[in-house]
Structure 1
Amino acid sequence: MFKSFIRLNSRVNTRLFSSNSKPSIQKSNSIRNVLLGITGGSITRLQELESPKYSSDAEIIIAIEEIKQLIPEVTITNKDVEILHHTKNDFTPHLPLDHEKPQFIIYSYTTEQVSQILKILNKYNVPVVPFSGGTSLEGHFFSTRQGVILNTSRMNKILDVHDEDLDCVVQAGVNWQELNQYLEPKGLMIGADCGHGGLISGMINTNASGINASRYGAMNTNVISITVVLADGTIIKTKQRPRKSSAGYNLTQLFIGSEGTLGIVTEATIKLHVLPKYETVVICQFPTILDSTNTVADIFKLGIQPNAIEFLDSDMMKCLKYSGYCDSSWDEKPTIFFKIGGLNKIVVDEYIKQIKQISYHNNVELFKFAKNKEEGESLFSARKNAFYAMIEYGRSEIDEDMRIWVTDIAVPLSRLSPVLNEIHQLIKSSGFESIILAHAGDGNFHADLYYKPEDKKKCEQVIKQMVQIGLDNEGTCTGEHGVGNAKRNYLAIELGEDTISLMRKLKLALDPKRILNPDKIFRIDPEDKGEY
């Protein structure tokens, strides 16, 4: 873009600069800066930009041929089945249109290869979308401009484990469950857990969390440092390995949650946690949502911090019973699944005693705890299989062509009870069937609606109302899924245009050609009329 600007405007620049006229020089610089997205202010508003100039189809082919010549070790494909795999997700209602689909998929294996690839793609202004596990739900890895997808899933090596320091170094494509299996003999685990297919780079890019986040936190509290390749191929490492550091800007946190719009994560140093010495599972069923969420609040006030606190509403329990994932004797009522851990059985038994007292104070109707590890795993498997139960129930009892609009919202803990009640009533009045799941320990919940394809617009209106309820209660439009291209409008409502404009300024500073995951999180093109 820089060369083409200079080439196209060389005659104008020569005339302006040869006149020795200070106003003309300032005018020329102003024009150039606007085109490049560099303004004198602290923020960059969308209307200050011109549309990005991306490569032609012919230039993409040239770039691909250069990559093949320079790095023959990488895998490049444009097979229809590969394109489909990278542009389809049954639970994301905003798929790329035909003219937005990528032309090539590139598989990399090392950080150095990613650097070389980006240098070439940057030279030709080729849009590039990072891809890892492909499990995210808000359109993060769906292309919006014809270009390439850079898949880092084959960068899946565990590079080092520092037992005494409680950290490990891994490549971008390591699966978190496989990492935990590797760590288990050492008595260690990582904190965050998300969808089964989640890979480390995708979890970093969306700041994933999951069931264990109540105790161990999301990715932003579990990542020590990151190796990132920037848009022009520059390789940086954000920190060394100490858990504490005041060395300069906190670049690690800048990239966590950036969804591949600022750089491509290739390696990470992750905090490790000691596996609980003793852990069990407690199941509580309540007559109302309010009783269950009040129980959670009272437990926290007492200073007890369970390893997991998962809320399932009566509709979710109905799905579990229908699919055979839980005990048939359980009621279709609001239910809390607790994981309680401690140094030994005596400590855990004391926690259970306190939780039981609090639960009965809040009208619990069923209180059951596992007698051993095997029974605990059996009980908690109901929660872990919730998503599959949702699908089975929907396709069997609602419609074979049923869809699920999966979304997430988070609110302060004190607002969780009234917000869940209000959203529950909203959904019931809408006519849609639904389920509500909540990571109740951190105020993050999923209110997922079943809909038929012809009802998509009506369903979306309900989703909008749900998100607005969350925002009205000082919440966020996304607790763990991220923004992608699906929640850009909600993010602007949540944070305001000036905050978005600051993000845009940072984006342009690191990626002036706007080639990295274009159009995600916020708009970068004033001509962007995308539905989402």
Structure 2
Amino acid sequence: MFIQELLERLGKDKVSQNENELYRHSHDESFHPPVEPEVVCFPTGREDIEVIMKVAREQKVPVTPFGAGSGLEGQAIPIQKGISINFENMNNVIKFSPEDLMITVQPGITRLQLNKFVNRHGLMFPIDPGADATIGGMVATNASGTTAVRYGSMRDQLLDLEVVLANGTVIHTGSLAKKSSSGYHLNGLFAGSEGTLGLITEVTLRLHGIPEHTIAARCTFNTPKECAEAAQAILLSGIPVMRMELVDAESIAQVNAYGDYNLPVAHSLFFEFAGLKTSVEEEAKLVEQLMRELDCDNWDVASGSKERMELWKARHEMSYAYQHVKGMANTGADVCVPISKLPELIVYARELIDEAGLTGGVLGHVGDGNFHTIVLYDPKVEGEFEKAEYTNEALAIRAIGVGGTCTGEHGVGLGKRKFQEREHGAAVSFMKQMKQIFDPERLLNPGKIFLED
């Protein structure tokens, strides 16, 4: 009945029960089991979202937002079926103010589409999670990525959000001002809420100038611990790196085989420096000096655009190198810890994978204490999935124990729900109360973030 009502109110071109579309919207890039929605809607503007939510309220139908499907924790899986909302047709630029370093876009525009639009004006949007995710999806998970050491996460880039709430109310969470001391920080509340509090229909973002000059570099160490300690030394020195990534030797070997690269098979740090040419060159020299004092090997600098792109292309392909091993599935952790605890946790992560007897790697954005594991398992071999999942669980518990978090950027979704009480304690009850206020009938992405009471 609700599907017929959607067809009548939105039109046949915006509502689909096509088998291929239902399957496409049943999963993301995580290992969580797929669940097909009953229908997929393709809105083009806020008015369509309001119609969908009106039908959902009247018929008590759950609604799950879907961006690019690149999530890693099952946020887009409609576990209670119902309506899946695909935002791909809401990908327009609403307002562009280069003089104010800001832009307002619909949530379905992707990171690369946005940068293609603003780059020709000498501006850039810096958050880079690797995948070409939608801006709405990146807000929903508070994504960050390789540039977080300098620019922070999505939460730090938000000026204002337009949000349709479950009861149909449309609110704005901020303003066009660069800062405000007025009222509660609603931008921060909705960033990372994973579609459980409202549906984002517009996003106003900070933009940044494209740096004049960029240099990339790479070096290696004998152990992952030495890599982490070297990263910590750079941060303590105050050198403003643009990116700083750790990749262990196992992952280097994996990506060499996948992409026909010839990187030294050793525990590696990747760097990028960006800014004024003279400053960048000096920063790169200072880091080289510091790394050599710490006994690094294979220091290599890429200042040309082609060489830089090749170096970072290899880094971005690390996860795909594991995902495309024939016959194998993969899972992984995504923790963030205080910088002083980073060496300890990276060593522990490597030990967990080795003790499980599985193939896997440790890599991540060590400049802000965030790193990942990727662990391969054969779904046909009894017990391998459980071993892989144990590495994730043990690492998350250790991260929380040293004052960190079970997820630095992938979000909670389905996979990290079990850690919420351990990480947040009594605060979880207040989060659940917020959910009750915003969505008392639990129509918005039900079953995500919290285990059902």
TM class, shorter-length: over 0.9
Q: Which runs of 5+ in 2 are unaligned?
A: none
Instruction: Describe the SS at the equivalent of 2:100.
Output: coil
Contact 1:191 1:218 in 2 (8 A): no
1:200-219 matches, cutoff 5 A? 200-219=135-154
- Offset from partner CA, 1:464-519 (integer Å, 9 cap, x none): 112112112211100000000111001221112x2111111011111111110001
1:61-140 matches, cutoff 5 A? 61=1, 63-72=2-11, 75-89=14-28, 91-96=29-34, 101-140=36-75
Task: Say yes or no: does 1:351 pair with 2:283.
Answer: yes
Deviation at 1:183, TM superposition (A): 1.2
Aligned to 1:360: 292
Aligned to 1:499: 427
**What amino acid maps onto 2:213 in structure 1?**
Y
Task: Say yes or no: does 1:334 pair with 2:267.
Answer: yes
Aligned to 1:315: 250
**What amino acid maps onto 1:444 in structure 2?**
N
Equivalent in 310, 318, 321 of residue 378 of structure 1:
310
Instruction: Describe the SS at the equivalent of 2:341.
Output: helix
Range that drifts further, 290-299 or 251-260 = 290-299
Contact 1:155 1:172 in 2 (8 A): yes
Deviation at 1:188, TM superposition (A): 0.7
Equivalent in 376, 400, 408 of residue 479 of structure 1:
408
Distance 1:202 1:374 in 2: 30
Instruction: Describe the SS at the equivalent of 2:162.
Output: strand
Instruction: Describe the SS at the equivalent of 1:105.
Output: strand
Contact 1:292 1:362 in 2 (8 A): no
Deviation at 1:406, TM superposition (A): 2.9
Range that drifts further, 419-428 or 475-484 = 419-428
Distance 2:132 2:26 in 1: 16
**What amino acid maps onto 2:139 in structure 1?**
I
Task: Say yes or no: does 1:512 pair with 2:440.
Answer: yes
1:9-408 matches, cutoff 5 A? 61=1, 63-72=2-11, 75-89=14-28, 91-96=29-34, 101-326=36-261, 328=262, 330-344=263-277, 346-392=278-324, 395=325, 400-408=326-334
Deviation at 1:77, TM superposition (A): 1.1
Aligned to 1:415: 341
Taking structure 2 as the reference length, what is the TM-score of the superposition?
0.96
CA RMSD across the alignment? 1.4
Contact 2:333 2:395 in 1 (8 A): no
Contact 1:231 1:511 in 2 (8 A): yes
Task: Say yes or no: does 1:470 pair with 2:384.
Answer: no
**What amino acid maps onto 1:128 in structure 2?**
V
Distance 2:131 2:113 in 1: 10
Contact 1:410 1:444 in 2 (8 A): yes
Aligned to 1:488: 417
Deviation at 1:73, TM superposition (A): 7.0
Contact 2:162 2:171 in 1 (8 A): yes
1:266 and 1:162, CA in 2 relative to 1: closer, same or farther beyond 3 A? same
Taking structure 1 as the reference length, what is the TM-score of the superposition?
0.82
Range that drifts further, 79-88 or 476-485 = 79-88
Equivalent in 362, 374, 390 of residue 461 of structure 1:
390
Contact 2:332 2:392 in 1 (8 A): no
Distance 1:429 1:412 in 2: 25
Deviation at 1:72, TM superposition (A): 2.4
Instruction: Describe the SS at the equivalent of 1:227.
Output: strand
- Offset from partner CA, 1:85-121 (integer Å, 9 cap, x none): 01134x4222145xxx321111111011101210121
Contact 2:15 2:39 in 1 (8 A): yes
Contact 2:248 2:362 in 1 (8 A): yes
* Percent of aligned pairs sharing the same letter: 33
Equivalent in 358, 370, 385 of residue 432 of structure 1:
358
Deviation at 1:325, TM superposition (A): 4.5
Distance 2:288 2:295 in 1: 11
Instruction: Describe the SS at the equivalent of 1:115.
Output: helix
**What amino acid maps onto 1:487 in structure 2?**
K
Q: Which runs of 5+ in 1 are unaligned?
A: 1-60, 527-532
- Offset from partner CA, 1:22-78 (integer Å, 9 cap, x none): xxxxxxxxxxxxxxxxxxxxxxxxxxxxxxxxxxxxxxx2x2222322332761111
- Offset from partner CA, 1:388-443 (integer Å, 9 cap, x none): 32234xx2xxxx32001033111111111111011211211110110111101101
Count of aligned pairs: 450
1:325 and 1:383, CA in 2 relative to 1: closer, same or farther beyond 3 A? farther
Contact 2:214 2:272 in 1 (8 A): yes
Larger radius of gyration: 1
Distance 2:323 2:184 in 1: 44
Distance 2:56 2:143 in 1: 28
Distance 1:521 1:212 in 2: 26
Contact 1:423 1:469 in 2 (8 A): no
Contact 2:42 2:89 in 1 (8 A): yes
